[in-house]
Structures are given as structure tokens and as C-alpha cells.
Amino acid sequence: LKENNARHMWHPMAHPADSLENPPDIITEAEGVQIVDIDGHRTVDAVGGLWNVNLGYSCAPVKAAIAAQLDRLPYYSTFRGTSNDAVIELSYMLREFFAPDGLSRAFFTSGGSDSVEVSLRLARQYHKIRGEPGRVKFLSLKKGYHGTHTLGASVNGNANFRTQYEPLMAGCHHIPAPYPYRNPFNETDPARLAQLCLAALEDEIRFQGAETIAAFIMEPVLGAGGVITPHESFMPGVREICDRHGILLIADEVITAFGRTGSWSGSRHWGVKPDLMCTAKAITNGYFPFGAVMVAEAVTEVFEQDRSGKGFIGSGYTYSGHPVGAAAAIACLKETGRLQVKDNAAARGAQLFKGLQALAAKYDVIGDLRGGHGLMCALELVSDPAAKTPIDMETIGRVQRAAYEAGAMVRVSGPNIILSPPLVLTATDVQTILSALDAGLAAAAG
Ligand code: PMP
């Protein structure tokens, strides 16, 4: 099996000939917050699948809901008004769930990249309907990640996810992220840095011309870019600037929605109401590929009242509103609410962050520790703390392997160790992750 994995499978985000010596290994079972590999080695999954398994792996009500839906109606399309009871119930539940964010309608997709694609398309279309067809450009953050489809890749901040596929969509411009450890302003104070980044956004809008810009897209906490957590003034500042210039604000909450930051959405965490919100991942907790773009009432109204014919939506997927995915999402939402996972995310997140602060004091290799809002943390590793030289891939691989052997699966993304465990983990699980990381970091030091 291991040989076939190395030989026949082309792994996402990997070179086809990558050595598969490091974890993740072949995972054969999962239970609660733990995964078991082909050699029978059991670890706490400190990655939560891929930031998505918020409820853990043994969610009986979700399994039962999926089985019941498979028996009753395994599939029917939701194109042009055809529907199913599961997706109708889910739409209503999502409307209730996101009511405090001012979002009222759900457009269903098959995952995060699809949600981003749909949100960008809707943004352009919104301006066309309103008689501003020149608003076609998109602004985003330099460390942002918005999936792998062509529009999403165009707004991705990391050049590695863009340059190989160019030319991508024209008219996408990136502004510096509020990342105190490394930024073009050499500003380490988060509040002052937020102001500088907001000023850069204003400059870019002036330079491009506000009348050419459709939307600004951002993650409330930047995930794949290394858990970059903006100062609390940043997202409200973005909202204010977007409002002043008639630019839509798209919150990419593929990671942050449903409790990960300790709030039900990342936008709500910062007290911001976006115009569009991309969700996926935890909406079905890994049980089904699924996503939803949540749309604000005011945006929906523009489409509803359109008499020009431009409001016809030319976006949609065969699996949009899939009844089995919808049944899974309904059960996940019920469990998410019943268990109040956001509160556990906040409490266990505080415990985890405190433990990571102790590790950061112990190991020079930790150049920067980020997180502190729910269960999303990153350690940025450096080989020379004074020069902030990013760690080499071999050493960070050693940290990951040693941590895995000591009982926790962590994720490596560039020079960062990422932690995004299930939101239902216990204080003991947090302790296991911290001791495993301690062992991993000791291996790097040794
Ligand atoms: N947006 C964000 C913020 C993400 O983190 C991701 C995936 N990690 C995506 C979009 C893309 O989601 P998917 O992999 O489900 O297509």
C-alpha cells in the first residue's frame, strides 16, 4: 500500500515524486479526536483533518443523518428551482445561524474553492446589475489563501499559488497583510501595523480608481498563510473603507466559520458584517464535500429586484445543494450548537496558547507564535532568530515527525507549524499536543 501510494497517487500540494517519509502517513482509522495510521500508531489530530473536523471523527448523529438521507433521496439537482427538503431546511438553519452577521441567503457549492469562485462572480455581477460594469477588479491580502480555482488563485496572496498558472485573471491586486513579524513597514506593533495596512488599502484604491473595484476579499484570520491574526481594528477598518468606496467585502470564512476562532464566525469575532461570506470545511465536518456562500440581504435584494436580465446566475455545480451533504450539514450544525463548540474552542484555545508561549520561551527556533483566538495557532520556525532566517524544510520535517511519534499530528506549511485541532478536544488532549510539540522541538534543537 505504501509503495502504491508513493507511485500512483499524485498528492495535492505536492511534487509527484515527493518523498512520503514524513507524516501524514496512511491513515486507516479515526475516532474522537484521534487518528490511527497503517502501522497502528495513534495520535491526536492537531490539524483537525485540514482545519475542518471541528466535531471530531465519531459524530454519530451525522452518520445517522447521512445514512437516512442516502436511503431516502441520495441525489437530485437543485438547478433552476428544483429542490429537496434537506437543502431547504439547511438554508433556513444557515439563515438563523448567520442572522447576527446580516446574511440571509445561501448559495450552495461543493467546497471552499467553489465558494470563493461563486462569491467573486456574484460580486462582479452585483455591480453590473447596478449599472457599474466597470467594477471588475479585486483586492486581497498578500498572505491570503483563497483556494485553487482560477479566480481564487488570482486573489491568492502567496505567489507560489499564482505564478505557475499565469496569466490568471487581470485586475487583482494585493496589499500587505497585517503580519507584525514580517512586513514591508518593519512595524512590529499590531495596532500601528493595522493602520499602515489600511492606509496601503486606501492608496491602492486611489491608484486603481474605486470605480474599477468590485470587492475586497479577506480571511478574518489568515489560515494557510500562517495563522496571521490581524489587530482588532483591521477588519472593521476594511469594512469602513469598502463602504466609503462602494466596494463589496467578501469574508473568506472557509476555515473560520462555525466556531474555530471562539466565535460563530470570524467576521462576528471582529464585529464586522460582510456582504458575502464563503464557507465550506466544517459545515460538514469532513463527512461530505460541501460549501455555501452566504449573501447579505442588501446584496440579495439587488439580484431579486433586477429586471435587466443580468441577475440570472450562471454559476452552480452538479452537486450544489446535494441532499446528502445538506443532511450532513444540518446534523453538524445541530451538534455545533448543542455542544456550543465555540466556547470549548475559546477555553481550550487559551490553554493551548499559554502552553505554546511557554514553548516559545524555551526554544529559540520559535521565531514567532501566532493565534490566541480559539483553536488556530502557528509557530513560525527560524534557524537564526536575530536574522529571522526561515527554517529549512528538513529540520521542520524532523519536528513534525518527532511530534507525530510523540502523539500529535501537526501540519507544516512553509516555515510554520500549524495547529487547528477539533474544537471538541479536552484539556488532556491539549496537554498531549503540547508535550508532543515539546518533543518535536527538542528533536530540532538536537
Ligand atoms: N479559502 C480558504 C480560506 C481556505 O483555507 C481554503 C482551503 N484550505 C479554501 C478557500 C479552499 O477550500 P477547498 O480546499 O475546500 O477548495
| 147 alpha carbon – ligand 1 mean position (Å) | 5
Q: Which of 320, 338, 356 is the last residue of a domain?
A: 338
Q: Which of 338, 373, 404 is the last residue of a domain?
A: 338
Residue 279 and residue 425 in one domain? no
Ligand 1 mutation pick, 281, 283, 290, max ligand atoms within 8 A of CB: 281
Burial 171-193 (b: 16+ CB within 10 A, else e): ebebbbbbbbebbeeebeebeeb
Other beta carbons within 10 Å of 290: 29
Give nearest CA residue, ligand 1 atom 1: 146
Residue 158 and residue 124 in one domain? yes
Q: Which residues contact 116 (CB under 8 A, 6 or more apart)?
A: 146, 147, 149, 151, 152, 155, 217, 252, 254, 278
Residue 162 burial by CB count (10 A; 0-12/13-18/19+): exposed, middle or buried?
A: middle
Name the amino acid, one letter, at 147.
G
Question: Given this model, what pLDDT does residue 12 score?
Answer: 86
Residue 90 and residue 210 in one domain? yes
In the three-class reduction of DSSP (H, G, I as helix; E, B as strand; rest coil), residue 387 is classed as: coil
Q: Residue 224 CA: which ligand 1 atom is closest?
A: 5
CATH code assigned at 240: 3.40.640.10
Residue 35 and residue 113 in one domain? no
| 244 alpha carbon – ligand 1 mean position (Å) | 29
Chain position carrying cell 466596494: 247
Residue 153 and residue 132 in one domain? yes
| Helix H or strand E encompassing 364 | none
Other beta carbons within 10 Å of 409: 26
Residue 362 and residue 298 in one domain? no
Report the number of distinct structural domains present in the chain. Answer: 2
- Determine if the pTM surpasses 0.90: yes
**Side-chain half-sphere of 282: how many Cα atoms within 13 Å?**
31
- ipTM greater than cut 0.95: yes
| 277 alpha carbon – ligand 1 mean position (Å) | 13
Question: Given this model, what pLDDT does residue 2 score?
Answer: 78
List the domain range (segments joined by +) for residue 433. Answer: 2-55+340-445
Question: Given this model, what pLDDT does residue 188 score?
Answer: 97
Give nearest CA residue, ligand 1 atom 12: 112
Question: Given this model, what pLDDT does residue 6 score?
Answer: 76
Whether the CA torsion 209, 215, 219, 223 is positive or negative: it is negative
Residue 46 and residue 143 in one domain? no
Could you tell me where the DSSP H helices lie in 209-256? 234-245
Residue 198 and residue 267 in one domain? yes
Residue 87 and residue 234 in one domain? yes
Question: Given this model, what pLDDT does residue 21 score?
Answer: 59
Q: Residue 152 CA: which ligand 1 atom is closest?
A: 10
Q: Cα-Cα-Cα-Cα dihedral of 178, 179, 185, 189, to 10°?
A: 90
Q: Which of 281, 306, 338 is the last residue of a domain?
A: 338
Residue 417 and residue 433 in one domain? yes
| 162 alpha carbon – ligand 1 mean position (Å) | 15
Question: Given this model, what pLDDT does residue 396 score?
Answer: 95
Residue 31 and residue 7 in one domain? yes
Ligand 1-lining residues (CB < 6 angstroms):
111-113, 116, 145-147, 219, 223-224, 252, 254-255, 280
Residue 82 burial by CB count (10 A; 0-12/13-18/19+): exposed, middle or buried?
A: exposed
Give nearest CA residue, ligand 1 atom 6: 147
Q: Residue 223 CA: which ligand 1 atom is closest?
A: 5
Other beta carbons within 10 Å of 213: 25
Residue 77 and residue 115 in one domain? yes
CATH code assigned at 426: 3.90.1150.10
CA-CA distance, 204 to 110, in Å (whole number)? Answer: 33
Other beta carbons within 10 Å of 366: 22
The per-residue pLDDT string of the chain (446 residues; one tens digit each, 9 = 90 and over) reads: 877 887 788 888 887 776 555 666 799 999 999 999 999 999 999 999 999 999 999 999 999 999 999 999 999 999 988 999 999 999 999 999 999 999 999 999 999 999 999 999 999 999 999 999 999 999 999 999 999 999 999 999 999 899 999 999 999 999 999 999 999 999 999 999 999 999 999 999 999 999 999 999 999 999 999 999 999 999 999 999 999 999 999 999 999 999 999 999 999 999 999 999 999 999 999 999 999 999 999 999 999 998 887 777 788 999 999 999 999 999 999 999 999 999 999 999 999 999 999 999 999 999 999 999 999 999 999 999 999 999 999 999 999 999 999 999 999 999 999 999 999 999 999 999 999 999 999 988 76
Give nearest CA residue, ligand 1 atom 15: 112
| 146 alpha carbon – ligand 1 mean position (Å) | 6
